[in-house]
Structure 1
Amino acid sequence: MSQLRLRPRRLVLVGSVLVDLLLYVERLPERGGDLLAERALQAVGGGFNVLMGALRLGLPAAYAGRIGDGPMGYRVRAELAAAGIPVLLPPVVGRDTGFDIGLVEPDGERTFVTAPGVEAELSLPELEGLALQEGDAVYVSGYDLCYPLSGAALEAWLPGLAPGCLLVLDPGPLVATIPTQRLEQVLRRVDVLSLNARELQLLSGEEEPARGAARLCSQLAPQGVVVARVGAEGCWLVSAGGVPLRVAPRPARVVVDTTGAGDAHVAAFLAALAGGRNLEEAAYEANVAASLAVERAGPATTPTRAELEMALAEGRKGGGEWE
């Protein structure tokens, strides 16, 4: 299987960091009804999950998005500062950052409603003014491609992204609402497409993950890679001209919250590539990281490098499929 054309050196997240308000419920309420949450959690989420995941696994990270100066924005800026993650754009005065409300069911599945703020209003001049570096992995979420202002700016900017940068896209749950022409244009520049089984089916029109991943790979940049996350079954990996490969999972001991699973997966995949692993090794490390993430409550649950190495060592000792 071919390799990425560049090894990522830094993760630059372009788009949305906002506040998650998570409610853990026994079931979703019926329309017009009400429900008492068993517990609640408030945390900075969205793109923050990916940034923290990269940082915990040794890949430097920076945030290239907008932050407001209201209560939500203050929380976001404080969390980024505490983590030592640089912010590449100045604060937006007089406006606030957005938030989302997530309902988490007992099996860990989550359902979101998002109220966007200033993070959804990136402009083309802001993007053109970013000081990117050789080897930067520029991460974009499908949420940002959906937003009218950010989406239009990204559509104009991403196709001309410098060849010294990698473009990483996670289309997210709103994939079906991204304007078709915008998505097609962006995909032609994408180096890494990471998505879950539902998003894969919606985007490819294929029910079989291997066929869907192969179909999407043909729409990416030369040497592009598709990482199709299929939950407890691991992931499918396809590179340009290659045969789809299923990479083995690490079964989670218990599924508590799937909120940050995909974010942990893509962060671990990029961090492993930065550390010199090949695509298959990186995909397996990402599977293990995601399985550890779902064992914890909250959005930014990517394991540390030490925790990931311990789980990898346990897998090797157990003589699993990876061996």
Structure 2
Amino acid sequence: MIHTGQAVVDLVLRVPSVPSAGGDVFASGHEFLAGGGVNVMVAAARDGARVVYAGGHGTGPFGDVVRAALAAESVELTTPADPSTDTGFSVALVDDRAERTFVSTTGAEGAVTATQLRRTEPSAGDVVYASGYSLIHEANRAALLEWLPTVPAGCPVVVDPAPVIGEADLDAVRALLDRADVWTTNEREALVLLRRLRPTTERTGPAEVAPALADATGLAVVLRAGPRGALLAAPGGDVLSCPAPEVEAIDTNGAGDAHAGVLCARLAAGEGLEPAVRRATTAAAIAVTRPGPATAPTASEVDAALGRS
């Protein structure tokens, strides 16, 4: 799996609720660890994929945290540290409903070039992961959209639009859609994109949004629906439900990343999209039972949950 997104550092604060403007709240706990795209890469690596990080990383304490986390999971780097700046960081607020809110900065991960991406040299069977965050950073957007058309046809491109999809330039989104094969998204992001592509849409439920988005994009759509699992829709086709095992959610931060990482790992292993989505849904359910963003299970843990030896 070739990850073209952004690896950052997360400062995770656990709060009863996100304060209103001008308010104040005390955190009941905090963590300082690698996050962002790291969570997707960790999930893919733990599920058995060889993972390559094509993005930027900086020189400084935040860059050190990211590199240590990636090295611990045997994730390969294709570019040296940027000597001019550090890696960026994100403040993640996790409330008592297990929902999360982010405030982020930008560092070396927001200054990727097409030359850096070309160093990955993808070949048939490799899976390319792209993030909607790359469309927000000017340099990353230009690099990704220049490089993606050169990716061999035998390399599936999986796109996770991220919460910022509503802010991304629509022409850039359409260019990304042109080379994407799978669009994996949560409910909110799916509806935001659908309404941008088809402003007159009145669909709101996931069972309606998933096939509508598949038709609007011409892509296979994986819609993550929280405790209900995931929906898999193809253009003009039926919607397949992939239920999640029933669990007690402690922290949803990183659940979508765990899902996307395992999905990419299974596709890179040559599995079909349906079994990949079912496995990813189980992995995400395990992830929400653990505090912290980098909570993706190992392959053996997912196998056990699926009843495999």
TM-score (norm 1): 0.88
**Match of residue 66, structure 1, among 56, 59, 63:** 56
Aligned to 2:282, the other structure's residue is in SS state helix
CA offset at residue 215 of structure 1?
2.8
Superposition misfits of 4+ residues, deviation over 6 angstroms: none
In the other structure, the counterpart of 1:296 is 290
**Is 2:259 the counterpart of 1:283?**
no
Indicate how the Cα distance of structure 1 residues 35 and 192 shifts in structure 2: closer, same or farther if over 3 A, else same. same
Contact 1:189–1:220 (CA under 8 A) maintained in structure 2: no
- Whole-angstrom distance in 2 between the partners of 1:231 and 1:139: 21
Aligned to 1:286, the other structure's residue is in SS state helix
Aligned to 2:223, the other structure's residue is in SS state strand
In the other structure, the counterpart of 2:205 is 208
In the other structure, the counterpart of 1:305 is 299
Which shows bigger deviation, 24-33 or 193-202?
24-33
**Match of residue 189, structure 1, among 161, 166, 179:** 179
- Whole-angstrom distance in 2 between the partners of 1:142 and 1:279: 21
**Match of residue 112, structure 1, among 102, 105, 111:** 102
CA offset at residue 164 of structure 1?
2.6
**Match of residue 36, structure 1, among 16, 26, 37:** 26
- Whole-angstrom distance in 1 between the partners of 2:269 and 2:2: 17
Summarize deviations over 1:121-173 as a string: whole Å, max 9, x none. 11223223432222111111111111122112222222332213211100011
In the other structure, the counterpart of 1:264 is 258
The one-letter amino acid of 2:209's match is G
- Whole-angstrom distance in 2 between the partners of 1:152 and 1:276: 30
Contact 1:103–1:112 (CA under 8 A) maintained in structure 2: yes
- Whole-angstrom distance in 2 between the partners of 1:89 and 1:30: 41
The one-letter amino acid of 1:227's match is V
The one-letter amino acid of 1:148's match is E
- Whole-angstrom distance in 2 between the partners of 1:162 and 1:19: 32
In the other structure, the counterpart of 1:234 is 229
**Match of residue 245, structure 2, among 247, 250, 258:** 250
The one-letter amino acid of 2:189's match is E
**Is 2:68 the counterpart of 1:78?**
yes
Contact 1:204–1:213 (CA under 8 A) maintained in structure 2: no
Summarize deviations over 1:224-244 as a string: whole Å, max 9, x none. 421001111111101244211
Aligned to 1:218, the other structure's residue is in SS state helix
Report the aligned-residue RMSD.
1.7
Q: Which runs of 5+ in 1 are unaligned?
A: 1-10, 315-323
**Match of residue 125, structure 1, among 109, 115, 127:** 115
Percent identity over paired residues: 39
Summarize deviations over 1:192-251 as a string: whole Å, max 9, x none. 110000001111133132332223323546xx4210011111111012442111222212
Which shows bigger deviation, 155-164 or 134-143?
155-164
- Whole-angstrom distance in 1 between the partners of 2:224 and 2:87: 29
- Whole-angstrom distance in 1 between the partners of 2:239 and 2:61: 46
Contact 1:188–1:219 (CA under 8 A) maintained in structure 2: no
**Match of residue 220, structure 2, among 208, 225, 240:** 225
**Is 2:150 the counterpart of 1:160?**
yes
| Number of residue pairs the alignment of both structures matches | 301
- Whole-angstrom distance in 2 between the partners of 1:40 and 1:86: 29
- Whole-angstrom distance in 2 between the partners of 1:219 and 1:226: 10
CA offset at residue 274 of structure 1?
4.1
- Whole-angstrom distance in 1 between the partners of 2:188 and 2:270: 30
CA offset at residue 300 of structure 1?
1.2
CA offset at residue 22 of structure 1?
0.2
